Structure 1
């Protein structure tokens, strides 16, 4: 227990991830759903990448964006789940200071990338449904590649200041992080300095970037829904609406816990810590599991290729 005593130091070489305070007795039981979600996410996203790479008929913008999303999901869950499981199973709570900052970068960069890819996919669906004759001329392979590069650069450039600010703060009270992973606010809250710059910057990124992304997604799907209701047959409307509805469900499952977690760090003092940590952990794991299921299984071309692989 000596590792959990408050100590006096400056810029520790290691942090201690406490896990879920108050629920230490059920860490092993919590590892079961966490591990299950991780396995499904890994298998699902690798399956998407394998099928799209193997089948040349799927080399289209929509599936390229789906591969970008699958790669981002793999990075997101792999940067967090192994350490979570090591805490649950082996009580391995130490994490190097540099490794903590690296994990912080990959988590927040992946979240921003996922948001940007959702926007790109929504715009792709808008063009495909509302302007089908112009889809191949608007979303060419170079445009898709440039979009992916822009999403990566935007995410990296916006995440680096968070990590640099977290690195330069002095940590002279404790090195115990009451969390399962090195989130930005959970780390900088340990600093014995005025961290308003870090707090305001990260909050502005959430509000501006995610807010703008949600706005563009909303505009795209509003236009898509208008086009759906103009389709001539009821079956076509129901089929297209069902696909778009499942996509919107995945998007909401990503953004709602994301905004909840961001605001809880700053204003949710009355929310139990273990509940907040569970929500903040789940929203890193559920989208990587749901995305290949919703975007893959509900996409007829991928489902057909998957069935063909199993039957042959």
Structure 2
């Protein structure tokens, strides 16, 4: 239902709320998607909480590498929790209405956590670069203080650079339609409803993505190129294999994270003909990494896996 009010500063009629329609093209049976999503969400939360418990309890994991992993777990939980309650409310209770301030806040948090995840991958790549390429300097460079400073820098960078996204969206006039063909307050979905010029929104959105994500991905590529160059110079095949094994889990997560982003960017151009695909990818980008990240690290990282077995065995004995 269209709801709105007359803007006192103009003759335009301003909507008072948006309606998140859900997944385009499958409205009649989209509630069935709640089944896998309702399973993935608690799985993501429990897996990341378990990672935090293990890192806290095991003294052997009190290292910068695992501190970054713990921060990533917190970001993943925030990313999933920001979107899943609203999506499940839409699918289960048809609670599609969302106020404009709530929608703009939702938009801000989505961008913040997405850029935060990207920034943490950069920090973890730098950690692996120093550990493998400059092992003698690792204890003096990658310290607890470095972890704190890097995390604070990324948080400030992402929070400040993301502020214009909802601010610019809030300055648009929404006067004709209020139904968003999405289950999230995506920037493109919201601003496409505006009745005035939205080019500045698109330009800033594109510039922000290229500046932050592009620079992050560039630093990651450079870090791993230097790591590969250093590993290939090792005389021992065993040492080279051990060095690369410490990066395997990180590389898997990076490839998955940025691959979805690239595919999402490409499919936006086809959103008019197949609107479901970018919406579904947008949701998966926010829920799959939080569920996947702790599992990949638990299976691919020997120290973390051994600590997991140790903690679980202690719990079983206590029970």
Q: Report whether the alignment pairs 1:155 with 2:154.
A: no
Aligned mate of 1:277, from 279, 282, 288 = 279
Q: Report whether the alignment pairs 1:130 with 2:126.
A: no
Instruction: Give the C-alpha shift of residue 8 in structure 1.
Output: 8.2
Q: Deviations over 1:89-142 (max 9, x none)?
A: 111111121111111111100001111100000000010111111111001221
Q: Which residue of 2 aligns with 1:85?
A: 88
Secondary structure, counterpart of 2:18 in structure 1: strand
Looking at structure 2, the residues matched to 270 and 239 of structure 1 have their Cα atoms a distance apart, in angstroms, of 48
Structure 1 unaligned regions, length at least 5: none
Asked whether the 8 Å contact 2:4–2:17 carries over to 1, the reply is no
Instruction: Give the C-alpha shift of residue 28 in structure 1.
Output: 2.5
Secondary structure, counterpart of 2:15 in structure 1: coil
Aligned mate of 2:290, from 282, 288, 292 = 288
Looking at structure 2, the residues matched to 236 and 32 of structure 1 have their Cα atoms a distance apart, in angstroms, of 45
**TM-score, reference length from structure 1:** 0.92
Q: Deviations over 1:25-77 (max 9, x none)?
A: 32232112212221221011111111112223322111111111111111111
Asked whether the 8 Å contact 1:20–1:178 carries over to 2, the reply is yes
Looking at structure 2, the residues matched to 271 and 53 of structure 1 have their Cα atoms a distance apart, in angstroms, of 49
Looking at structure 2, the residues matched to 123 and 292 of structure 1 have their Cα atoms a distance apart, in angstroms, of 20
Instruction: Give the C-alpha shift of residue 289 in structure 1.
Output: 1.2
Asked whether the 8 Å contact 2:257–2:285 carries over to 1, the reply is yes
Structure 2 unaligned regions, length at least 5: 7-12, 315-319
Aligned mate of 1:214, from 214, 217, 241 = 217
**TM-score, reference length from structure 2:** 0.90
**Root mean square deviation, CA, Å:** 1.9
Instruction: Give the C-alpha shift of residue 239 in structure 1.
Output: 4.4
Q: Report whether the alignment pairs 1:59 with 2:62.
A: yes
Instruction: Give the number of equivalent residue pairs.
Output: 308
Asked whether the 8 Å contact 1:52–1:59 carries over to 2, the reply is yes
Aligned mate of 2:174, from 166, 171, 176 = 171
Asked whether the 8 Å contact 2:5–2:15 carries over to 1, the reply is no
Looking at structure 2, the residues matched to 47 and 269 of structure 1 have their Cα atoms a distance apart, in angstroms, of 38
Looking at structure 2, the residues matched to 148 and 106 of structure 1 have their Cα atoms a distance apart, in angstroms, of 17
- Mapping of residues 24-103 of structure 1, within 5 Å: 24-103=27-106
Q: Report whether the alignment pairs 1:185 with 2:180.
A: no
Instruction: Give the C-alpha shift of residue 264 in structure 1.
Output: 4.1
Looking at structure 1, the residues matched to 258 and 224 of structure 2 have their Cα atoms a distance apart, in angstroms, of 15
Q: Which residue of 1 aligns with 2:251?
A: 248
